[in-house]
A and B are shown apart, each in its own frame.
Chain A
Amino acid sequence: MSEGVSSLEESPSDQQVDLSILSELGKNALVNSLNSVNGAKTLVLDPSLAGPLGLLTEVSLLKHHGVDKMFWLEAGPLSVTTTNIVYLCRPNIKLIKTIADQVKRLTQDSQKHTFMLMLVPRTSTLVSRILEEEGVLGDITVSSFSLQLIPLEDDVISLENDNAFKEIWVDGDETAVYDSAQALITFQKLYGLFPRILGKGDAASRLTGLLTRLLPQASTSDVPETLMAPSEKLDSLIILDRRVDMLTPLLTQLTYEGLIDELIGIRNTYVELPSSLLNQSTTAGPSAPPSTAANTSTAPAAVLAKEKKKKHRLTASTDKLFAELRDLNFSSVGKRLNRTARELDEESKHGKLQAKTVAQLRDFVGKLGGLQSLRLHTGVSEMIVPLTRTDNFNRALEIQQNLLSSYDPSAQITAIEDLMAQGADLQIVIRLLCLASLTNGGIKAKTLEGLKRDILQSYGYDRLPLLLSLSSPSLSLIVPNPIPPSFPPSVAASKIPWSSVRKALRLVADDEAGNDDSPQDISYVYSGYAPLSVRLVQCVAQKGGVLSNSATGDGRKNGKSSNPSELQVRAHPIIGWRGFEDVLASLPGDTIDVQQKGLRGNNVNGPSADATKMILQDRTSTTVVFFLGGCTYTEIAALRWVGRQSRGEKFLIATTSIISGEGIINSISGGSKGPPSKEATL
């Protein structure tokens, strides 16, 4: 990890794609739409937008542009003092009804109010129809605020639309696909055309279709130079449809950042931690004078008593230690923390004696900052460790590993039953069940019925809709085996021939050699399983890595003394799926390979020739990987690892949102967390 980060920092000229433009764009759009309303205004926010907006702006900026007060958009009356009210929300029927309700109420009060509704990311006819039905369309100005790709890290951009997965595959609602297309077109306007688009999956192919169709439209009105020719910095766009690889998000993530997301939860890069963990770290330090040390001894006690949750933003740009830790397998996090602690300790001893010049002193104080983050991460790890030691966690992990290697599937089903009988989380059970169904091409009809019955009896009959949508043809996460003839053929087509795919793409590593500080294959992220999605990316961008790790692995072991950069595989130009057509054909969904030549058409040689040229010039090119339907932190970690394996190639990860298996199950089971169930006492 450190390698990747430092190389980015050392050579900014090498960092091809400047993402700050994207966040500028979002910020300006917001400011402009706010300025379009004169005077002081009240901003009413859709709670699901608060996180994404927080990544773009700060409250102070909003205040600066005349926002007087901010409210959450909730049912019930709204008390406002300003005449202008700006609503900012996603086009969601329930929210719009609430708004209509509030508008009606406020207009009755005979006070003069001006209403404005800003829809993210765009308006829809449905919304205006609802407003019309409610009879308030005349009172309200509807406009849109296009919230598009937001940079989360310097190599991750996201639409932060948490419901995208559910909308596309459960509700059959394709707006998320359209929005993704819009966002990608904006991206191309800024950075140039993707010379080549590759992808896998039905929804991915619809997205590609939209991209190629919308592009000429977008460029007729005003033609930005960038849309004319293929970009020189970007070498391709790889679109992966979440449906193609359902396995990966269902597994328990084992990288540091992934585990935090699994067990504590990360929302829009913020994680909620006990505030004691955060506050303490600011006051305590080894060189703290005795007086403050006395203070700290009393302060934590008070904080602990309250134990209020506080939000902390996890980001690698300010926290160097986190940058090192986030992609490590959790088993090696402790080791790394220990090492850093020792280094800091030595340096501080050293520093006390020698810090004489001002520069040295400043250097030393800077190190103390590192200590704070060390404290934080030690604390977080301490929180996670007991959770990973629980029986259920480990048993679930064991079942996962066994299922992946197709070891005695029926025994695994029994193990799942056991977990259920012991009152494990519904979420864990469902994830394992989906996994079992996916890897075995379905579960025997009779067993499946028994399992479903068990689930309904243990977790309540109101879980039936969840089971239904999981086995619906569009998802078919849980299917009976053999598939009854009544099912549409698409279900049969969506089966993954797991064992052959596993072999062809080397998804399960035989040895766990990668499970240490210097992993040799992406399978380290799941302690032995290489995410299918990332392997697919490798199929395009790094073919050698898919076929064997022994070549590169042995090379590394033998040649550690020689120049490491020589050992790195030279990135080869993007030449499509060549070599892996068979595997791809066996996976469900369309395979996409489109070349975009730009409108000028002076590229006689075609983009692949361009790419070759680029490699010869020893320049770094960026491959954008777009996950339609979300990706996990672990997949990001794996992709970063892949990016580090080859020179001259960088990955930029774009996604509709960052997801985890739990998030998926929750969103399918109805978005809201549901009624606080009494089973919790069980």
Chain B
Amino acid sequence: LSLEEASTMSDANAKINAVKAAQKFFSDDKERGFEAKMMDESVRLLTFQQQLEKDVDGKVLVFGQSVDATIHTCLVNGMTKKAEKVRSDFKVPDKRFWYIKLRALTTIRDFDGLDAF
């Protein structure tokens, strides 16, 4: 279990590897099916974030954020499609997604968007 302590690393690739190692560790144990799945998701999120940062040339920092925070950042920066992608990839429940969207739209003062609700 000490493996995921390593996942606090700052370097992007090292972090992904550390999480992968943790994932493997969990999948060895049948009782830890849930944890393994979660770690798997975590790896996917991290790679997605890495890709995203590359796409926008590091203008937006999302690496290491949680799923919700990632959606939030995407929305704030006008990347609605990306946000929708995260939402479907990680099966974020509607209720939570709308709350995030609500907050995101308020931060960028997109009142037209708010109206459109």
B residues 34-50 touching A (CB-CB < 8 Å) = 34-35, 38-39, 41-42, 45
A-side contacts of B93, CB under 8 Å: 421, 454
How many chain B residues have a CB neighbour from A under 8 Å? 30
Asked whether A322 is an interface residue with its Cβ less than 8 Å from the other chain, the reply is: no
Minimum C-beta distance from B9 to chain A (A): 11
Given A458-B66, A678-B69, A679-B69, verify A423-B39 contact (CB < 8 Å).
Answer: no
Q: Which residues of B contact A675 (CB under 8 A)?
A: 8
Q: Is the CB of B31 closer than 8 A to any CB of chain A?
A: yes
Q: Which of B77-85, B95-103, B108-116 is near enough to bind chain A?
A: B95-103
For B41, what are the chain A residues with a Cβ–Cβ distance below 8 Å? 456-457, 461
Interface positions of B from 10 to 45, Cβ below 8 Å from A? 19, 31, 34-35, 38-39, 41-42, 45
Task: Tell me whether B92 is interfacial, beta carbon within 8 Å.
Answer: yes
Judge whether A499 is part of the interface by a CB distance below 8 angstroms.
no
Q: Which of A459-484 contact B (CB under 8 A)?
A: 459-462, 464-465, 468
Of all chain B residues, the one with the shortest Cβ separation from A674 is B8
A-B contact count (CB 8 A): 76
**Do residues A682 and B68 form an inter-chain contact, with CB atoms below 8 A?**
yes
Contact partner of A453 among B38, B68, B72, CB < 8 A? Answer: B38
- In the complex the two chains form, is A468's CB within 8 Å of B96's CB? no
| Interface residue total, chain A, C-beta cutoff 8 A | 26
A417, B72: Cα distance in complex, Å: 18
User: Which of B7, B41, B96 counts the most chain A CB atoms within 10 A?
Assistant: B96
Q: Contacts A422-B99, A457-B92 given: A679-B31 contact, CB under 8 Å? A: no
Min C-beta distance of B29 to chain A, whole Å: 11
In contact, A420 and B96 (Cβ under 8 angstroms): yes
CB-based contact B66/A679 at 8 Å: yes
A461 touches B31 (CB 8 A): no
Q: Is the CB of B66 within 8 A of A460?
A: yes
| Pairwise interchain contact B69-A682, C-beta atoms closer than 8 A | yes
Instruction: Find A421's partner among B4, B66, B72, B96 (CB 8 Å cutoff).
Output: B96
User: Which of B4, B38, B42, B65 has a CB less than 8 Å from the CB of A679?
Assistant: B65
**B74 contacts A by Cβ under 8 Å:** no
Assess the A417–B95 pair: CB atoms within 8 A.
Answer: yes
Interface assignment of A449: CB less than 8 Å from any CB of chain B: yes
| B36 nearest CB across to chain A (Å) | 11
Set of chain A residues within 8 Å of B64, measured between Cβ atoms? 460, 678
CA distance A465 to B34 in the complex (A): 13
Given contacts A418-B95, A462-B7, A682-B103, contact A423 B1 (CB under 8 A): no
Please give the distance in Å from A490's CB to the nearest CB on chain B. Answer: 16
Whether A449 contacts B42 by the Cβ 8 Å rule is no
A468 in complex: contacting residue of B1, B8, B67, B92, CB < 8 Å: B1
- Expressed in whole angstroms, the Cα–Cα distance for A417 and B106 within the complex equals 22
Q: Shortest beta-carbon distance, A481 to chain B, in Å?
A: 15
Given contacts A458-B66, A458-B96, contact A464 B8 (CB under 8 A): no
- Bound form: Cα–Cα A458–B41 in Å: 13
Beta-carbon contact of A421 and B95 below 8 Å = yes
The reply on A452 being an interface residue by CB < 8 A is yes
Highest count of chain A CB atoms <10 Å: which of B8, B41, B93, B103: B93
Bound-complex Cα distance A464 to B18 (A): 14
- Picked from A421, A459, A464, the residue with its CB within 8 Å of the CB of B35 is A464
B1 contacts A461, C-beta separation under 8 Å: no
Given A421-B99, A462-B4, A462-B7, A456 contacting B68 (CB threshold 8 A): no
Q: Is B55 an interface residue (CB 8 A)?
A: no
Q: Determine whether the beta carbon of A460 is less than 8 Å from that of B65.
A: yes
A678 to B95, CA, bound (A): 22
Looking across the interface, which residue of chain A has its beta carbon closest to that of B67?
A457
A423–B8 contact, CB under 8 A?
Answer: no
Query: A486 at the A/B interface (Cβ < 8 Å)?
Result: yes
Question: Which of A420, A458, A486, A678 touches B67 (beta carbons < 8 Å)?
Answer: A458
Given B4, B42, B72, B100, which contacts A465 in the complex, CB threshold below 8 Å?
B4
B57 within 8 A of partner (CB): no
Name, among A460, A461, A462, A465, the residue most crowded by chain B CB atoms within 10 Å (CB to CB).
A461
- A486–B33 Cα distance when bound, in Å, is 13
Give the distance in Å from the alpha carbon of A185 to the alpha carbon of B5 in the complex. Answer: 38
Contacts of A678 in B (CB 8 A): 61, 64-65, 69
Residues in A neighbouring B7, C-beta threshold 8 A: 461-462
Q: How far is the CA of A449 from the CA of B35 in the complex (A)?
A: 10
Which residues does chain B contribute within 8 Å of A417, judged by CB atoms? 95
* Residues A462 and B103 in contact in the complex (CB < 8 Å), given A453-B38, A457-B92, A682-B68: no
Q: Known contacts being A421-B95, A465-B1, A682-B103, is A457 close to B68, with CB within 8 Å?
A: yes
Tell me, rounded to whole Å, the shortest Cβ–Cβ distance linking A236 to chain B: 41
Min CB distance, A651 to chain B, in Å? Answer: 40
Question: Is B34 a contact partner of A449 (Cβ separation < 8 A)?
Answer: yes
Find the residue from B61, B68, B103 having the highest chain A CB count within 10 A.
B68
Distance, CA A458 to CA B96, complexed state (A) = 9
Whether A423 lies near B66 (C-beta < 8 A) is no
- On whether the beta carbons of A459 and B66 are closer than 8 Å, the reply is yes
- Residues in B with CB closer than 8 Å to A679 are 65-66, 68-69
Would you give 7 A-B contacts (Cβ < 8 Å), ordered by A?
A457-B90, A457-B92, A461-B7, A461-B19, A464-B38, A679-B65, A682-B69
Chain A residues with a Cβ under 8 A of chain B:
417-418, 420-423, 449, 452-454, 456-462, 464-465, 468, 486, 675, 678-679, 681-682
Closest A-B pairs by Cβ, 5 of them: A461-B42, A457-B67, A460-B66, A421-B96, A458-B68
